[in-house]
Amino acid sequence: MDIPEIDDKNIFEMLGLEDIRKRPDILPKIKLEVTPQMMMEPRFQSRPEDLEKLKDITGYMFYIETETETPALMLLKIGRSDITNTVGCITEVPAEMVRAAIERPVQPPTCGMYAISEEIRAWLKKELGL
């Protein structure tokens, strides 16, 4: 199966829920426990413990973006070298779940990024078969 490479995309080219379901290169690398705070934590790549932290978060992380007109559930690719790209926008998530995650955050937001709630995590597990 020929899988296209993911790079910088505009909102109209981003992967949706159905696209992600069909991506065996993404599904096993989704890390529902990784938060924006973990991703933004400073690391010095020369220290073994920092390399280990980076290895732990490398993959794909869901977060709620609030710097957009309407808050949105997004999928972020976190690379091994601390490089990130937003690659997905999940429009199917119920708006009330997103609103609740912003109104009652599990962690303070980082750069307009909110961690997903347990409710959204459970919804994603069900929808993606994780």
Smallest CA-to-CA distance from 66 within 25, 36, 26 is with 36
pLDDT score at 123: 98
pLDDT score at 7: 44
Cβ(88)–Cβ(61) under 8 Å? no
Smallest CA-to-CA distance from 84 within 60, 116, 109 is with 60
pLDDT in tens, the chain (130 residues): 444 444 444 445 789 999 999 999 999 999 999 999 988 876 666 677 777 777 788 999 999 999 888 999 999 999 876 678 899 999 999 999 999 999 999 999 998 899 999 999 999 999 999 9
Q: Where are the domains of the chain?
A: 17-128
Cβ(116)–Cβ(127) under 8 Å? no
- Tokens found for residue 129: 């078969």
Task: Write down the residue that tokens 């991506």 correspond to.
Answer: 23
pLDDT score at 52: 74
Task: Please tell me the pTM assigned to this model.
Answer: 0.83
